Amino acid sequence: MSDERRMDVLRAIVEDYVATSEPVGSRALVERHSLGVSSATIRNDMAALEDSGYIAQPHTSAGRIPTDRGYRVFVDRLTTVKPLSAPEKRAISAFLEDAVDLDDVVDRSVRLLAQLTHQVAVVQYPSLRRSTLRHVELVPVGQRQLLVVLITDTGRVEQRTLEAARDLDEVVVAQLRATLAARVAGRRIAELAGLVDDLAEQYSADDLALLRRVVAVVEETLHQESEERVVLAGTANLARSKDDFARSLGPVLEALEEQVVLMRLLSDMAEDSATVSVRIGHETQHDGLVSTSFVTSGYGDESGAAVARVGAIGPTRMDYPATMATVRAVARYLTRILAG
């Protein structure tokens, strides 16, 4: 038996099962696909695929369905991810570019992705720890209170207030603001250490101490764990595929409610070198998600580095090429908008 023909049979089974949700038999493969061999030959190929664990027989009918391993081979053998149509691209661009701030961008992205994929959409907020500082603003809000505003390259805005040891001098605050503008812009958290060590001759001890406190506030803010969060949309889409889940929707919905589960998955998938990462069934390593697949792609900053991920979760019987293309497209538009 030809290995390539066997993979063609597997591809045909996956495509037919995704389209019909019915187990696929040899006769249907002959009728729907130009495989160039007889039904008897296809039956032999299917038997070999079943022995290898790529397909399974759900009941006593002649039909077969893909296993997690079969879906994995199918996804890994996708040589290209089909591009979106021009109208789809224009719709995504127009919808996202009207966003007014980061929260609006994330909200629009997750709703759009859920609508396009008919799956559960997930958008991870850009991590402060992986972002680059674009600007640090200092605003006196009282005699001794100073508001520190952080703006990252991905559009995150964070505000913190600190109490100065003495009354604030507006001239000094302006000087500190200028110093931070020159030294902080474009830096990541790992580069902030020792930022003010060489400024002792430019400022008095009190002013230098205030500058150190401002930098400490910046570092503490960037270190915070609370900024690691995700937004979901489209959980109702799972109801349309309820027959695809071996037990019920309950375990899936419970897993989706646990942000720590999604954050772990997103973190694991961020280590993949592929532009679009896919976890299938048991690869999610969570009992509640064994009937699902998770497709994600990173979106980034001006340098192209990924600072967070966007993705779609649905049953393992999903249209992988279309879902992968849509997730990748939304991720690219997110990168373009945030970097702009």
Domain 86-126+228-339 CATH class label: alpha beta
Which residues are CB-neighbours of 163 under 8 A, at least 6 positions away? Answer: 144, 145, 146
Q: Under a CB-based contact definition with an 8 Å cutoff, are residues 235 and 252 in contact?
A: no
For 239, the token pair is 């109801």
Q: Which pLDDT band, with edges at 50, 70 and 90, does 233 fall under?
A: very high
Sorted by sequence, the CB contacts under 8 Å of residue 33 that are 6+ apart come out as 8, 12
Confidence label for 179 from pLDDT (cuts 50, 70 and 90): confident
Closest by CA to 301, choosing from 264, 271, 331, 270, is 331
8 A C-beta contact, residue 215 and residue 139: no
Q: Is 129-223 CATH 3.50.50.60?
A: no
Q: Tell me which CATH code domain 3-76 carries.
A: 1.10.10.10
**Band of pLDDT at residue 304, cut at 50, 70 and 90:** low
How many CB atoms are located within 10 Å of the residue 296 CB? Answer: 27
pLDDT digits (tens, 9 = 90+) for 252-272: 989 998 888 898 999 889 888
Interval 128-163: pLDDT, tens: 666 678 888 999 998 999 999 988 777 778 889 999
Domain boundaries, the chain: 3-76, 86-126+228-339, 129-223
- pLDDT-derived band at 16 (thresholds 50, 70, 90) equals very high
Phi, psi of 139 (to 5 degrees): -130, 110
Q: What is the pTM of this model?
A: 0.78
